[in-house]
Structure 1
């Protein structure tokens, strides 16, 4: 499945092949950094990128798990063909491999799982959530430069934050989850370019504990900042 060349052109002919497309030359800075850069170009396969996944909050049971992205060389020796191992044991998910990967497919694997969870929680349609995320990255991402620890040393990270459902015209259908935020942490100082992704659904008021927090951080990273 050669998903990544398509992803690089449209932000996301996602792992499922169903992310909405847009004009091939019309991309925001956030889209370019998160979905279109050659995150894997400097890597020398075979190797595996390891990520730590944590879920917490008051809505559902918390858990810790892991996500591995197994990278192997293309027939010409270039990087990479990518195969995911998303969660372990009874939580393990079946996701398709990606050939000719340039951007880091772990980002889209995370988002596809997130969208399935949104569908489970709200009974909404996956393509609707994909569209809201795409439009938020395209139109409304907040960008901030920060520094975070990686393997005991500070590294430069660019943070892209979105709230795709806050101004949703259909917000009333998903009101409990409307304040959900997404933070993409990108850094050329970590292998694969992805420091981490974090989502957060806040409580009913500012002082309440969050309903749900999910984060996927590269192994060796410190804690992601709150959005």
Structure 2
């Protein structure tokens, strides 16, 4: 299945909706619905000043340091506090094989989404400039999240889009690469803290999404960490960590 090109999309939330639709048929949310009512210019500027995480993740040029022929590899680990109540934890890998696209900054991306019992079909993503790892891992997470809470995946996708657009924070971080460190940025989104269904979601309303990126990392995305903290302050109820692995 093909992923439409995002380079000319002006609204990151709309890009996220279209991207998710390309991964899972039937998940499509229209551009108009995803973008919502037009925001005043001042509000739009303020949101962009906070953190333009959607634009970075879904509209950026991520392959400036990842030539055709490169295989981007990510480790994945899901850990859970009580496997009797939620989907058990597991470890695996995600691999993206990059083939030449129609422009120097674009790639055709062949996806291997896990190699063990959890393997599932995904992609390919044709002629894209961005790294689809965030799309893949969010779609995986939201499928499990919706099953656990008995909700509609679209509801949670909308909440994340809104959080990315209006309430994301950003802070500079150091990222380990090679024998040293490089500069990166960590974006944090807490999409459910003010959700109307917060009481129904209970502890899962505190789920935090962290995206760490650096232009020095091939594929730009260094880590995606999704954490549901425990109310008692102990080990997280659920945590999923996807991290770039150097070849």
TM-score range relative to shorter protein: 0.7 to 0.9
Aligned to 1:35: 58
Aligned to 2:19: 14
Q: Distance in 1 between matches of 2:183 and 2:191?
A: 26
Q: Distance in 2 between matches of 1:167 and 1:77?
A: 42
Distance 1:168 1:129, change over 3 A: same
> Conserved in 1, the CA contact under 8 Å of 2:108 and 2:128?
yes
Q: Distance in 1 between matches of 2:156 and 2:78?
A: 20
User: Mapping of 1:101-116 within 5 angstroms?
Assistant: 101-116=128-143
Output one character per residue of 1:123-164: Cα deviation in whole Å (capped at 9) or x when no partner.
Answer: 211111110000001000011001121222101110100111
> Conserved in 1, the CA contact under 8 Å of 2:6 and 2:59?
no
Task: Tell me whether 81-90 or 128-137 shows the greater mean CA deviation.
Answer: 81-90
SS at match of 1:203: coil
Aligned to 1:51: 74
> Conserved in 2, the CA contact under 8 Å of 1:40 and 1:101?
no
- What displacement does 1:220 show? 3.6
Is 1:200 aligned to 2:227, yes or no?
yes
> Conserved in 1, the CA contact under 8 Å of 2:102 and 2:127?
no
- What displacement does 1:41 show? 4.1
- What displacement does 1:111 show? 0.7
> Conserved in 1, the CA contact under 8 Å of 2:3 and 2:19?
yes
Unaligned 5+ segments in structure 2 are: 23-27
Aligned to 2:237: 211
- What displacement does 1:71 show? 1.1
Q: Distance in 2 between matches of 1:66 and 1:119?
A: 23
Unaligned 5+ segments in structure 1 are: 222-227
Task: Tell me whether 27-36 or 122-131 shows the greater mean CA deviation.
Answer: 27-36
- What displacement does 1:179 show? 0.6
Identify the structure with the greater helix proportion.
2
Aligned to 2:25: none
How many residues in Structure 1 have an aligned counterpart in Structure 2?
220
> Conserved in 1, the CA contact under 8 Å of 2:34 and 2:158?
no
- What displacement does 1:91 show? 0.3
Q: TM-score, normalised by structure 2?
A: 0.81
> Conserved in 2, the CA contact under 8 Å of 1:44 and 1:79?
no
Q: Distance in 2 between matches of 1:7 and 1:129?
A: 25
Output one character per residue of 1:191-216: Cα deviation in whole Å (capped at 9) or x when no partner.
Answer: 0000010010011223x221011110
Q: Distance in 1 between matches of 2:175 and 2:106?
A: 27
What is the RMSD computed on CA atoms of the aligned residues? 2.3
